[in-house]
Amino acid sequence: MTSIYKNKKRSYSIRLPKGYFLTEEKLQELQACNPDLQLCIGDENLLNVVEHKFLFDDYGSIHLKLTGLTANLFEEMHELNKEINFEFDDTEEVWIKMGVYALIGLITMAIGASIYNWAKSKRIGNVYADPTEYELDDPKGSGKKINRIPDVSYISYETA
């Protein structure tokens, strides 16, 4: 994710697929759905997400409501922004996972190492780290798919 400093506020640029038409009217609609963020249109269907009431350092992810975003458009957006870790649950809301403080990274690594050592000693599965991405069935039973990027994950050999 490219970080740009403007007036001491950070912004992140997201390239949107051509099928997601970013107009001034659409921008107003998106801004109403995302009041804690300042949104701006850039060149060639680029959406700039700027710190506003929401400070990026206070959270591990940005929740961005993109009305009209479908699973197919999400896949295209993901391809256009490979450097960004996205999660999507087919409800028009996208999570952008951001970097974390060193202490959180240390704790996450300790959890991952503990699970890895347990799984290896028992020979029962594999452990994966961020940014391993999964497409899962919606646990609410809607029949839709959700995309997740957990910090640490374990999959048993039976499940895989």
**pTM to 2 decimal places:** 0.61
CA 151, 152, 156, 157 torsion: positive or negative?
A: positive
Q: What is the mean pLDDT of the chain?
A: 82
Q: Given a cut of 70, is residue 136 above it in pLDDT?
A: yes
Residue 140: partners with Cβ closer than 8 Å, 6 or more residues away: none
Count, residues in the chain: 160
Q: What is the pLDDT of residue 105?
A: 74
| Residues 130 and 114: beta-carbon distance below 8 Å | no
Burial class of residue 70 in the structure, from the number of CB atoms within 10 Å of its CB (0-12 exposed, 13-18 middle, 19+ buried): middle
> Vertex 97, ends 81 and 117: CA angle to 5°?
115
User: Which is higher by pLDDT, 56 or 25?
Assistant: 25
Percent share of the chain, pLDDT over 90: 32
Helix (H) or strand (E) holding 129: strand 125-129
28 confidence band (pLDDT: 50, 70, 90) = very high
DSSP tag of 1 = -
Give the pairing of strands 152-156 and 125-129: antiparallel
Q: What is the pLDDT of residue 86?
A: 84
- Mean pLDDT calculated for residue range 135-157: 83
